[in-house]
Every structure is written in structure tokens, then in C-alpha cells.
Structure 1
Amino acid sequence: MRAWERPEIVSVPGESNAPWLHDTKTDSLVLAEPLDSARLYVCGITPYDATHIGHANTYLAFDTLQRVWIDAGYRVHYAQNVTDVDDPLLERATATGVHWRDLAESQVELFRTDMKALGIIPPNDFVAVTEVIDEIAAAVAVLQEAGLAYPVPTGDAIAEADGTIAVDLYFDIRAAEASTGWALGDESNLDLDSMLRLFAERGGDPDRAGKRDPLDPLLWKAARSGEPAWESPVGAGRPGWHIECSVIALKELGIDFTVQGGGSDLIFPHHDMSAGHAQALSGHPLAGVYSHTGMVAYQGEKMSKSLGNLVLVSGLRAQGIDPRAIRLALLARHYRTDWEWTDALLEEAIARLSVWSAAFGASAVSAAKNAASMEAPGTAASLVQSLRLALRHDLNTPEALKLVDDAAAGQLDDVSLVNRAISALLGVAL
């Protein structure tokens, strides 16, 4: 699948190092230092209601991580999926009378447009689930052959061509724990009651008859009337939710990659289950660090598709809001905190962009080059080093913004250097 155009990332003089990043699994800051290239997987959208500010907040956080790695001299290999066949998408397509493929295609294109406008670095591998159906089905077959997947009969599935009663296939958590070294909850650190609650809230089916454990997740859904399905070695049907990311991540990034990222609402069940599937398939952990962004609220409620309280990037852009201001509004809150989007926050970002542009924009750079002298200039190199330190410490963008705010109120000896640093590290071209 085609991604979007990559923004220009200028180089900045000086040296930096790998960042310290919060790891959900250990609830601590760990050094996200690649062994070779930095390999990053961030879970992508289910393409409807794209792109809301919560989406943008997540992808901007991992854009910042990539910029820190790139500034430190690392090569980055970034993969992201698009869940272009799933129950919520099919339900929306039915409700709106649009074919599910058309809905997905239009929303993915809107997502691309928004990401490009915001200056987000695109993934090297932008993979739709419908592009890897064969690989997912083969992975499910491997799990079944290893005794880590089992059938559950279903009354509403379409019978196979030979008359065989179709079945759904589920991941056997207890068998996987016994044979792989992975354990449910390793990444989320949740207790059983919390897991059961979140599993039911986030697409799971703990009360499904015939399952060996209420938390066993669906791997392969047998074909139903009126739903898309593909022929496969495990029967006609389509993938469950979590297996897709395991297969795509292993295919594009390999085992034990650097960082698995996404919103905090994916910690459980999605990332816990994805890690289990991947370890069962490969015999190795999925990722070295599990990093998650906070939730964005609006009008007192968590911003979500189900509640319908969405602020869309495309809507703000249609109002004439500069995408750089949207970016600055998001950077003003730390990536892993929960916070609320407000008009005041956006107005503050618009004002900040104006101040920065006057202090460090193209006209300021030109004026500084033409100036014969400056009174008591500060050291731009010192500011850049402080920016690097702030971002290397768990992507502390609020501190980085404050450093630039303070610098804009004074004078610096190299405005051009600051301009390049703001563009490269914060993604704001002035």
C-alpha cells in the first residue's frame, strides 16, 4: 500500500544519542538504543472517522521518536498496518450504505493527506491487512499445527464446499504460556478482573461458548453470509484482530524489534495478544520496548469513535488552521499523558507559531545574516543541545517548546541553526 510523501528532514550540527523511553512492560524509562537500525512498529488505523486528534497525537509521538533516532545517526525502519477489514469497519459501511472497500480506501486517502499536512514521517512499510491475508492464514495454520489454536463451532458460518461445518479458530493462551515462555499480562501488567473487563469492552468475546478460556482471542473467523471472506488452508474466512499485527511486524521488521508503539487503549488486549502470537510463531519476544501514548479527551469525555466526540484534523484544516499550529498544540502535551483538547490550546499554539516565525523564520534568518552585529548574543548551539536532551528524556516535547519560547524572547548568535533544529527535531518548518 502506498504511504505519503516524506517530509524533508535537515541535518543539524552536533551530536546526539539514543533516547530514554517509557516502557509499559517494566513501567520504567529504558534506553531505546537500536542494535543495528531502529525498527519501529506502530499500530495503524481502522479506516473510518480518520483522522481525529487522538490518531494524530499517537503518530506525532512516534514521529518525534524517529526524529530523535535520525538526529542520533540511526537508520529507521518503520512499519505500520491498516486494518482495512474488521467488524467496526464493516458495521460502519453497512450503516452508511457504502461498500466496505470504498469506505476504507477513502478514509486511508484522507489519513494520508492529514499525515502529510502535519509533516509526519511515513512508514517504510504501510501494509493493509487485505494485502497479507495469505500470510495471516498461514500463520494461523502454523499455530494450529503446534497445538496453540483450536476450533470453536459456530451456527451462522457458511459450510465449506465439501459440506464440512465451518469453525472459528481461537488462540489457546494456556497452551502458549506452557510452551513459549510468554505469559498473558507480561506487557500490560493487569490483573485478571481488569483483563476480563477490557477484553469485553475492546472487541473480545469472553462469554463465547466453546472457548477453553474466556480470554482466548479469535485468530480466524469463518465465512459468514454478507461478509468478506478468503479461501485459505484454515478454511474460508478472514483474520481476527491481533494476529494481523503479529504477522505484519514479523514480516517487515523481524524478531525482537526496537519499539512497539500505539495508543494506551491498545495495551490490552491488542498488544498483549500480539506479543503472544508473535512469540508463539517465532520463539522470540516481539519487541524490546512497548511505548504508548495517552488518550485525548474533548468536552469532558475521552475522544472516541463510539462517542462521536471527534475533532478531525481535516476539519481543522478546512477552517484554515495551519497544520504547524495543530502540530504545536499536540507537542505542548507530553505524549504519554491523558489530556483534553480545547480551543484555548489551539489558540496558544497559533500564537506560539507566530512568535517562533518572527524570531526564527526565514525573514529572521535573512535579517541575522545581513546584520553587522548583535548585542549580547546567546549561544544557539547550547539551545540545540538542550533541545536534544529534552527530547532524549522520554520525548519531553513540552520542555522543548518552553526552551524555544524562552529563546525567542532573547537573541541568539545563529538564528539559522535554531531554524534547522526546530525543523529537524520538532518537525515545524518556519
Structure 2
Amino acid sequence: MIHVFNTMTRTKELFTAIQPGVVNMYVCGPTVYNYIHIGNARSAIAFDTIRRYFEYSGYQVNYVSNFTDVDDKIIKAAHEAGISEQALTTKFEQAFNDDTKPLNIKPATVRPLATEHIDEIIAFVVDLIAKGYAYEAQGDVYFRARKFPDYGHLAHQNIDDLEIGASERLDDGELARKEDPVDFAVWKGANPDEAITWASPWGPGRPGWHIECSVMALKYLGTTIDIHGGGQDLAFPHHTNEIAQSEAHTGTTFANYWLHNGFVTVGDDNEKMSKSLGNFVTVHDLLQDVDAQALRLMMATTHYRRPLAYTKVAITEAIQIVKRLQTAYANLAFRVQQADAVQTPDVDFTAQVNAFKVNFMQAMDDDFNVANAMTVINDFATALNVYANQAAVSALTGQLALDEFAAEVMVIGVDVQPVANDDDTSWIDEQVAARDAAKKAKDYAQADAIRAALKAQGIILEDTAQGTRWKKE
């Protein structure tokens, strides 16, 4: 049974789906005005790993994650680039997809855009005003935070303390428009020079940041969702405001479980990585030099709630781990395909495989404890290597082990199975057979010549106890 740490209660709780066998999950996506940095990727990877484990456990996951495509940062970046807001956001929406695909981040079930839901957002705001939770002020519409019971509870902050902080951040104009400093915008009136606006009952304007996620979560997942996720920095104000406006609108619980991932830190002083601090590394740039599978493994195998320290040493270690996992899979896969592999089950090794599965699930059931799960996976890899070197190997049990091993490693987001290749490789097999024949005839010069010729074409031969294997460089 899966237990998750719920930020709302600050305790681990037994996960119980609203609809048996189905997980409805909303994860806040990026604001698309630049390439994503590895802090953004950390959140996407963390929740993709959680999603993958739910699916491994037999759940159907409806995974909704948005793009914020209207925002002050977008307007500023588009102006600086001399292009339209839509051209800017379209570019970086595609960049997000291009940069996350090599990291084995699965596409969202739905990836909605704020600009495609303006009518629903306006209707939502109209309802909040009608219920007395929101009010119009000079073209802006604000939510009355004090009217909502337990405002700030998710972030475990007192509303009076929040008022002091809000007063310090606001300019005089906005402070004058608000009834209370802690009130937040659900609709923003347009400035005269803004090009991206929509007509509304309160004049031209655009959505506030928080409202879009409430509207899209409710539209695609229902009035109460199972899991809402995002980075720790979103607990307040973003998720706090989502809860207030959503529950004011529906009269029911917005999300049953709130999950938040830790920050990525950089440098010797473990400084938080962010675009605003200017110390970020984009995934787009990083993938030019770093193996995507290794980056995925490094980021997925730190527990999602803990800070993740990005270092070159960690990447180097991850590269070696990925190679070890892939080699273990290849070793047994090669042996299973050999003619001497028996076609009857191996009871003892089957029991080992089943034990690895149980231990893997016990680790991941404990709030997705990937560190303990990786211990199981590493032991599993060792067992694959040992079994591949046995005198007798069961093809049936070997394949069972390979399938389970690949499934567990893919929860972490690493693919150990060789990439399918449609090229005709029969000529390579013929050259390998010719070299084997030359070696048997003790014509070592010919054998070496064949090896050298293959290497010149990027084909590496490996002599193993089970025969000669080849791979591409």
C-alpha cells in the first residue's frame, strides 16, 4: 500500500484513490518564457517518477500539467525579443517538449494553456464575486483571503504574518486598491500599453497567475482531485491561493494530497537554483554535453522532498550506474538468446526475482523512497550478472527477470533495453561468425583483421564466456 507525505498535514498518509484504480494528478507546469533550468526539470522528473510508480502498481494515471502562457515575465521577455507573446510562448512550449523527451518524461495526459481557457476563467471569477469571495477594484479583481477559513494552512503560515509580508511587497497603487494586503488578484486589468488582453465584465485584462491552475484542474480532473504537486516554492502563495479560490467556488476539498519537491542547489554554499538569481543551468544547454539517461538517474534518485545538489561528480557517478544497469541487462539478454538456454522455469531464480519485486515495492510504497529502491535495483543487477554466468540458464525465467528489471528501472526513468534498430545487421553477424571460425582454426591474424575492420566501422566486439557479442560505439 502506497503512503505519501501530505504537505497539508505534514504526515505520511495511506494513499486512497477517489476512484479505485485511478489517480487524478495535477502538477503545476512552467511559465514558458525561457528554456527550462534543471530546477524546473527536477519537478517534472520527480512527479514523472511518482506517476510511473503508480502505473507500475496498476493504476491508470490522468496526469494534467499546464503551461502558463500569459504572465508579466512573458510580456517583458517578448518585448525584449521584439516578438509577439504568442511567438515567444510557442517557441518555449516546443523547447520544453524537446528538452524533456530525452529525459524520459512522459507527455502529460493533457497539457492545457491558460490562454485557451479565458472564458472558463472569467466565469470562475464571476462566481467568486457572486459568492462574496472576490471584488472588483479599478479593473482588477481580488480574492478576499480572510473570508476563506484556514487561509495559509498549506504553508503553515499565520494570516497576520502574511499580511505584514504582503504590505512590504506591494506598491502604493495596489495597496490602495486592495481591501486587505493579503488579498490576491484573480483578474488583472490591462495597462494601456499591453497588447495581450481579453474583454471581461471588469474591462480589458488577463488572468491572475493562480486562477488558471484552479480552472484547468477542475475542468480536466473534477471538483476534487487525488494529488496536486509542484515545487516547495509553490506551497505559498500559488497553491495556497489555488485552494482558497477553488474551494470557495466548489464548496468542497480541492485536492486530497499535496506533494512538493525540494529545490536544486548549486555551488559550494548550496544556493538555490533559479532564473531570478541568475545561477541556473538550462536543460537545453546541459544536454549538449551530458548523457540524458545519466541526468535523469541523478535527479530521480534523490528523494523528491529533499534538496538535490547538482554537481559534476554526481553526473559522473550516474553515468557509471547507467552503464552498469544496461550491461547487466545485456549480459542476461545475450545468454537467454543462446541455443543452450533451457526452456523450463528455474524455481530458485524465480523466487529471487519475486523477492526483488517485493523489496522494490516496499521501498517505493514508502513515499516513493527512490534511494532504497535503487539499492534493490543494484542488487538485482548483480543477480542478473551472476545468473548469466551460470552453467545452465532458463530462457523463461531469464526473460521474466529481464522484464521485471527493466520495469523497475523504468520507474526511475532509465531505459536499459537496447534501442530498436531497423538497419540490417546480418552482415555483422556474418563477420562475427567468420572471426569465430578463424579463431577456431587458430588463424589469429585473420581474426584480428576482422575485429579491426569492424571497429573501423564503429562495431565493438566483446568476447564473453557465452560467446562473442557486438555493440555499436
Return the TM-score normalized by structure 1.
0.85
AA in 1 matched with 2:64: A
1:426 aligns with 2:393: no
Distance 1:416 1:129, change over 3 A: same
Q: Please name the residue that 1:316 is paired with.
A: 286
Partner in structure 1 of residue 141 of structure 2:
169
Q: 1:329 aligns with which of 298, 314, 325?
A: 298
Greater per-residue helix proportion = 2
CA–CA separation in structure 2 for the residues paired with 1:283 and 1:405: 48
Deviation at 1:369, TM superposition (A): 4.5
Matched AA of 2:241: M
Instruction: Give the 5 Å matches for 1:68-107.
Output: 68-107=53-92
Aligned to 2:12: 29
Cross-structure match for 2:438: none
1:212 aligns to 2:179 (yes or no) = yes
Deviation at 1:339, TM superposition (A): 2.6
Contact 1:45 1:83 in 2 (8 A): yes
Given that 1:23 and 1:30 are in contact with CA atoms closer than 8 Å, whether structure 2 keeps it comes out as: yes
Contact 1:45 1:81 in 2 (8 A): yes
Q: Which residue is 1:271 aligned to? A: 239
CA shift, 1:337, in A, is 0.7
C-alpha distance in structure 2 between counterparts of 1:216 and 1:205, whole Å: 14
Distance 1:424 1:133, change over 3 A: same
Give the drift of 1:198: 6.7
Q: What per-residue deviation string (whole Å, max 9, x for no partner) do you get for residues 197-226 of structure 1?
A: 775899999962131211100011112122
1:156 match: none
> SS of the residue aligned with 1:382?
helix
- Name the structure 1 match of 2:39: 54
C-alpha separation between the residues in 2 aligned to 1:204 and 1:386?
55
**Conservation of the 8 A alpha-carbon contact between 1:49 and 1:305:** no
TM-score by length of 2: 0.78
SS at match of 1:208: helix
Deviation at 1:174? 2.3
Cα distance change, pair 86–185 in 1 and its aligned pair in 2 (3 A)? same
Alignment root-mean-square deviation, CA: 2.4
Pick aligned residue for 1:66 from 13, 36, 51: 51
Contact 1:199 1:268 in 2 (8 A): no
Deviation at 1:63, TM superposition (A): 1.2
Which of 359, 382, 387 matches 1:386?
359
* Residues 240 and 100 of structure 1, relative CA distance in 2, 3 Å threshold: same
Rounded to whole Å, the distance in 2 between the matches of 1:72 and 1:52 is: 30
Could you tell me which residue of structure 2 aligns to residue 302 of structure 1? Answer: 272
- Runs of 5+ consecutive residues of structure 2 not aligned to the other structure: 388-396, 417-473
Local SS of the residue matching 1:125: coil
Q: Which has the higher relative contact order, 1 or 2, with Cα contacts under 8 A spaced 6 or more apart?
A: 1
1:142 aligns with 2:131: no
Provide the rounded CA distance (Å) in 2 between the counterparts of 1:252 and 1:402.
37
Tell me the distance in 2 between the aligned counterparts of 1:330 and 1:201.
Answer: 36
Q: Deviations over 1:217-276 (max 9, x none)?
A: 001111212221001233211001111111111111111110000000000000010011
Shift of 1:424: 4.0
Map of 1:191 onto structure 2: 158
Note if 1:231 corresponds to 2:199. yes
Residue equivalent to 2:424: none
2:251 to 283, 302, 306: 283
Deviation at 1:353, TM superposition (A): 0.5
Helix, strand or coil for the counterpart of 1:26?
A: coil
Greater mean deviation of Cα atoms: 66-75 or 134-143: 66-75
- CA separation of 1:196 and 1:172: change in aligned 2, threshold 3 A: closer
Distance 1:44 1:238 in 2: 19
The 1:239/1:201 distance shift into structure 2, 3 A limit, reads farther
Identity %: 35
Q: 1:417 aligns with which of 392, 398, 403?
A: 403
Shift of the alpha carbon at 1:105?
0.9
1: distance between equivalents of 2:171 and 2:222?
27
Q: Is the 8 A contact 1:64 1:426 kept in 2?
A: yes
The one-letter code matched in structure 2 to 1:219 is: V
Q: Does structure 1 retain, via aligned residues, the 8 Å contact 2:186–2:211?
A: yes
Q: CA deviation at 1:368?
A: 3.8
- The match for 1:152 is 137
CA distance in 2, matches of 1:88, 1:417: 46
Provide the residue aligned with 1:349 in structure 2. Answer: 318
Shift of residue 304 of structure 1? Answer: 0.3
Q: Is the 8 A contact 2:4 2:13 kept in 1?
A: yes
Once the two structures are superposed, residues 282-304 of structure 1 have per-residue CA deviations (whole angstroms, 9 ceiling, x without a partner) of: 11111000100001011232110
Q: Write the distance in 2 (CA, Å) between the matches of 1:422 and 1:204.
A: 52
Contact 2:136 2:202 in 1 (8 A): no
Matched, 1:38 2:32: no
The corresponding residue for 1:244 is 212
2: CA distance, partners of 1:119 / 1:92: 29
Closer, same or farther in 2 for the Cα pair 1:385/1:331, shift >3 Å?
A: same
Deviation of 1:71 after TM superposition, in Å, equals 2.0
Shift of 1:103: 1.4
Q: 1:307 to 1:351 in 2, by over 3 A?
A: same
CA contact (8 A) 1:199 1:206 kept: no
Q: SS where residue 106 of structure 1 aligns? A: helix
Report how far residue 89 of structure 1 moved: 1.6
Paired with 1:384 and 1:346, the residues of 2 have a C-alpha distance of: 27
Alpha-carbon separation, structure 2, partners of 1:369 and 1:213 = 71
Aligned length: 392
Letter in 1 for 2:326: S
How big is each residue's C-alpha offset from its partner over 1:392-411, in whole Å with a ceiling of 9 and x where there is no partner? 11111121122222333343
- Taking the aligned partners of 1:218 and 1:171, their CA distance within structure 2 comes to 6
Aligned: 1:123 with 2:96: no
* Equivalent-residue separation in structure 1 for 2:47 and 2:37 (angstroms): 16
Write the letter of the residue equivalent to 1:70.
E
- Is the partner of 2:176 in helix, strand or coil? coil
Shift of 1:114: 1.8
Displacement of 1:119 in angstroms is: 1.3
Shift of 1:360: 1.7
Contact 1:195 1:269 in 2 (8 A): no
